[in-house]
Amino acid sequence: MNFKQFLAQSGMFLVFFVVVVVSYMTAPQFMSKENMISLGLQVSSIGVVSCTMLFCLAAGDFDLSVGSNFALGGMVGVLVGNATSSLFFGVLAAIAAGAVFGLLNGIVVAKFKINALITTLATMQIVRGLANILGHGTPQTAEKPGFDFLGNQAYLSIPLPIWIMILFFVIFGILLNRTVFGRNILAIGGNKEAALLAGVQVDRSKIAIFALSGMVAAFAGVVAASRLVVASNNAGVGLELQCISACVLGGVSLSGGIGTISGTVVGVLIMGIVENVMRLKSIDAFYQLVVTGTILLLAVLFDRVKLRILKSA
């Protein structure tokens, strides 16, 4: 492996390193423990949902409905939590709601062969509408004590949402790399025909991916609602694009077949750090959009150059 290939292979990690160094130099308080925790909390939702987005992208699809499922999850979680006085039932109900729409996405995409863009665009609107209907168009507050457990407890002085994110990265990393389900996802995204002819259950895998995506998004929604003790009907707007951006930054191919969990972690963190530092320097949020958009564009260009270098090798 020559230097060029090394750069191409590990480019995003180098970029990550540079981003960290530059952040520290421009804002020394970046490295403080408080800021690290706030950074972790800030990316915890994107991080968790990016795990399943990675699966969708790796299989050659994507799921635009995660933002809405996130809102619905929070809403159902708070309402059921209020009604039953139990966080556990709230979480369960939220995951069930996410599963319903995830399954719907999966069945329509896999069995009826409808484009994932159209399918999830439709469910994105349906689910957002349902979240609004359930909350009567307003945020709903969790009334029972104990509901904030998931969001506000800390272990080893690190809040639970960060632990949950780390747990998800580990679980999905193992799923993708070590299990038949995970390897089949990459095979489906890499060459669907080959997977089909080799006897891989393509439809079933796709349905599982979308169902998982719905459940995980809804669960992330409950965790966020638990942290804020309120479920917003507008929660997670734009979350789907943030997750796709993070995955692409981490080297996941939009046409499927290529994706790693370590890359996704790096992608999530780069997005988070840029936002975090700009906030530390009290730069207007509008500029943040311009900067994150630019980074995404550069990442995609970099990806193209990378493929060219790897192919020429």
Partner 1 sequence: MLTFQSISKGFSGVQALKDVSFAVTGGSVHGLCGENGAGKSTLLKVLSGVHQPDSGSLDIAGKSCTFRSALDALNGGVAVIYQELNLVPEMSVAENVWLGHYSTRGPFVDFKELQRKTTESLRRVGLDVPPTTRVGTLSIGQKQMVEIAKALTRNAKVIAFDEPTSSLSAREVNTLFGLIEELRSQGLAILYVSHRMDEITKICDACTVLRDGKHIETFASMNGVNAAMIVNRMVGRELAAAMVDTTRQAGDEILELRDVVGPGLAEPVSLTVRQGEIVGVFGLIGAGRTELLKAIYMGKQGEVLVANSRVPRKGAGTSIRNGLVLCPEDRKQEGIVPMLGVAENLNISIRRSLAKLGFWISRGAEKENATTFIDRLRIKTASLNTPISNLSGGNQQKVILARWLSERVKVILLDEPTRGIDVGSKAEIYALVRDLAGKGIGVLFVSSELPEILALSDRVYVMCEGRIAGAMPTREATEPKLLSLALPKGEAA
Coil, helix or strand at residue 199: coil
Site for partner 1 in 252-281 (CB under 8 A): 257-258
- Residue 186 touches partner 1, criterion: CB under 8 A: yes
Residue 29 or 177 having the CB closest to partner 1: 177
Burial environment of residue 121 by CB neighbours within 10 A (0 to 12, 13 to 18, 19 or more): middle
Q: Confirm or reject binding of residue 309 to partner 1 (CB under 8 A).
A: no
Q: Is 10 among the residues that bind partner 1 (CB under 8 A)?
A: no
Candidates 19, 36, 92, 196; binder of partner 1 (CB under 8 A) is 196
As beta bridge partners, residue 230 has 141
**Considering only CA atoms, which of 188, 2, 195 is closest in space to residue 106?**
188
Applying CB under 8 A, among 194, 254, 290, 298 the residue interacting with partner 1 is 194
Q: Does position 83 bind partner 1 by CB under 8 A?
A: no
Token pair for residue 229? 């003790």
Nearer Cβ to partner 1, position 247 or 278?
A: 247
Distance CA 242, CA 188 (A): 24
Q: Residue for token digits 């800021």?
A: 35
**C-alpha torsion 65→192→177→48, nearest 10:** 0
**200 to 219, contacts with partner 1 by CB under 8 A?**
200
Find where tokens 């530092």 sit. 277
Cα(42)–Cα(35) distance, integer angstroms: 10
Residue 283 sits in the site that holds partner 1 (CB under 8 A): no
Contact with partner 1 (CB under 8 A) among 111, 178, 204, 281: 178
Which region, judged by CB under 8 A, interacts with partner 1, from 89-97, 148-156, 158-166, 179-187?
Answer: 179-187
Nearer to partner 1, 132 or 253 (CB): 253
Q: Looking at 84, 183, 203, 228, which residue binds partner 1 (CB under 8 A)?
A: 183
User: Measured from the CB atom, is 96 or 258 closer to partner 1?
Assistant: 258
Please select the residue that binds partner 1; options are 5, 9, 152, 191, rule is CB under 8 A: 191
By the rule CB under 8 A, 1 interacts with partner 1: no
Closest by Cα among 50, 60, 301, 8 to 165: 50
Whole-angstrom distance, CA of residue 62 vs CA of residue 59: 8
- Candidate list 195, 280, 295, 296; residue touching partner 1; CB under 8 A: 195
| Nearer CB in complex with partner 1: 67/257 | 257
> Of 91, 60, 86, nearest to 75 (Cα)?
91
Task: Please report how the helices 261-280 and 3-26 are oriented relative to each other, as an axis angle in degrees rounded to 10.
Answer: 30
Residue closer to partner 1 by CB (options 117, 297) is 117
- Residue nearer to partner 1 on the CB measure, 11 or 190: 190
197-215 burial: b if 16+ Cβ within 10 Å, else e:
eeebebbebbbbbbbbbbb
Q: Length of the chain in residues, anyone?
A: 313
Instruction: Considering the complex, state which of residue 156 and residue 180 has its C-beta at the smaller distance from partner 1.
Output: 180
Interface residue with partner 1 among 2, 33, 34, 193 (CB under 8 A) is 193
Nearest distance from C-beta of residue 253 to partner 1, angstroms: 8
Angle, helices 261-280 vs 160-178, to 10°: value is: 150
Interacting residues with partner 1 (CB under 8 A): 178-180, 183, 186-187, 190-191, 193-200, 257-258
